[in-house]
Amino acid sequence: MSNSYNIAVIPGDGTGPEVVAEGIKVLDVAANKAGFKLNYNYYDYGGDQYLKTGEVLPDNAVEELKKNDAIYLGAIGHPDVKPGILEKGILLRLRFELDQYINLRPVKLYPGIDCPIKDKEPEHIDFVVVRENTEGLYAGAGGTLKKGTPDEVAIQESINTRKGVERCIRYAFEYCKKRNKDNKLTLCGKTNVLTFAFDLWERAFYETAREYPGITADYAHVDAITMWFVKNPEWFDVIVTDNMFGDIITDLGAMIQGGMGIAAGGNINPEGVSMFEPIGGSAPKYKGQNIINPLAAICAAGLMLEHLGEEKSGKEIEKAVMNVTAHDIKSLAAGQMGHSTTEVGDLVATYVTKL
C-alpha cells in the first residue's frame, strides 16, 4: 500500500502564495514519481485575514493543524500590520503550541551560486544549524516597570530548562550521527559571560556527548562563530545553539549560502507535527509579479519530505534545485533570475522527473 500524507498549507502573506504554489508543483511531481500521495488542506492564516477579522489565529487553529502530518508555510508578514503581531501571534505561537522544539537550518552553497566570500566553493560551505526553538529569550519572560517614564525598567529573561536544552542537544547528536559527514558537533554559546544559561548548556552538552563516542564534541563562542562562518566555514558540520543565537547566526548562514532566496528551514517536533518554511520574509514589494525566487520554498518542501520519511524524494528535490542553480538561473535575486517564478518551478519539476 502506498503512503499518503495530509499536509496543512499556509501560503500566508506577500509572495508566500506564489512560492508555495511552486513548492506544491514540485511536491506533486516527486510524489507521483515515487508513488506516494499528498493531500493538501489550505489555511488562510496571515496578515490579510487578520486585517479582515481582527483575529490573528482562530481558536481552533492548533487543533486543526494537528490533524495533519506536516505544515508547509509560505511567509508571514504584512506591511499594514504592526511588526510583532503576526510574528508572535502566528509563527511563534505555532512553534510553541506545537512544541516544535528544533529549528533545523541547513547552510549549503549550491553549485553555480555566487558566494559573497572569496574563494569559497560548495565543498567549503555545507553545515547544519540546530537551533533550540521554544525557550531562551523567545519565551516571553520579563516585563516592564514605569513604562514611558525616565525611570523605565525593561527586563527580558532567557529561559533555559534542563529538559528543553537536553532534548535539543540530543537531537543534534542524533542528527550529526545520521548525517555522518565529519561527525563533529559544535556547541555555540557564550560561556565566558552568560555563566548561568550556558553553564547549563555546557554541562548538558558534554554529559550527552559521552553517549556519542563517535562524534567530536566541540565548542565555540557565538561571536567567534560569526567570524569563522566568514573565514573558515568548512570547519563546521553540525552546530547546536539557543534560540536567539540560532536566529542570528542562521541569517549569516543564509548570506554565505547565497542569500534568503535559497535558505530553508524546518520547525520540528520529532514526536508531533512539524512545519517547513523558506526563511526569507513575505517580500511584499514583489508580490504578484511572478519574479520572486521560489527555490527556498522548494527546498523547504524537500526537507518536509525527508522528515516525513520520503528521504529519496526529498534528496531528489535538492538535486533538482542544484541542477537549476548550476545550469539555469543567473541570480537568486527577485527579478534577476533570467526566469519567472513559475518557470523556475517548472525547471525544478522537470529535473525531478528526469533524475
Positions touching ligand IPM (CB under 6 A) are 87, 91-92, 247, 279
With respect to Mn ion, which residue has the nearer C-beta, 242 or 247?
A: 247
Q: Shortest approach of ligand IPM to residue 6 CB, angstroms?
A: 24
For 71, other C-beta atoms within 10 Å of its C-beta total: 24
Our measurement of the distance from residue 312's CA atom to the centroid of its chain's CA atoms, rounded to an integer in Å, reads: 20
Q: What is the DSSP string of 123-138?
A: GG-EEEEEEE-SSEEE
Q: Shortest approach of ligand IPM to residue 110 CB, angstroms?
A: 21
With respect to Mn ion, which residue has the nearer C-beta, 135 or 247?
A: 247
Q: Which residues, 6 or more positions from 271, have their beta carbon under 8 angstroms from its beta carbon? A: none
Q: Which amino acid is it at 48?
A: D
Helix (H, G, I), strand (E, B) or coil at 150: coil
CB crowding 300-337: b at 16 or more within 10 Å, else e: bbbbbbbbbebeebbebbbebbbbbbeebbeebebeeb
With respect to Mn ion, which residue has the nearer C-beta, 277 or 318?
A: 277
Q: Shortest approach of Mn ion to residue 75 CB, angstroms?
A: 12
What DSSP character marks residue 288?
T
Q: Shortest approach of Mn ion to residue 254 CB, angstroms?
A: 9
Q: Shortest approach of ligand IPM to residue 247 CB, angstroms?
A: 4
With respect to ligand IPM, which residue has the nearer C-beta, 91 or 268?
A: 91
Pull the grid cell for residue 124: 567549503
Helix segments in 79-221, DSSP class H: 85-86, 93-97, 162-179, 197-209
Q: Shortest approach of Mn ion to residue 76 CB, angstroms?
A: 12
State the binding partner of 220 from Mn ion, ligand IPM, none, CB within 5 to 8 A by kind: none
Pull the grid cell for residue 47: 496578515
Helix (H, G, I), strand (E, B) or coil at 153: strand
Would strands 184-189 and 238-241 be described as parallel, antiparallel, or unpaired? parallel
State the binding partner of 91 from Mn ion, ligand IPM, none, CB within 5 to 8 A by kind: ligand IPM
Task: List residues near Mn ion by CB under 5 A.
Answer: 247
With respect to ligand IPM, which residue has the nearer C-beta, 71 or 352?
A: 71
The residue nearest ligand IPM at its CB is: 87
State the binding partner of 87 from Mn ion, ligand IPM, none, CB within 5 to 8 A by kind: ligand IPM
State the binding partner of 18 from Mn ion, ligand IPM, none, CB within 5 to 8 A by kind: none
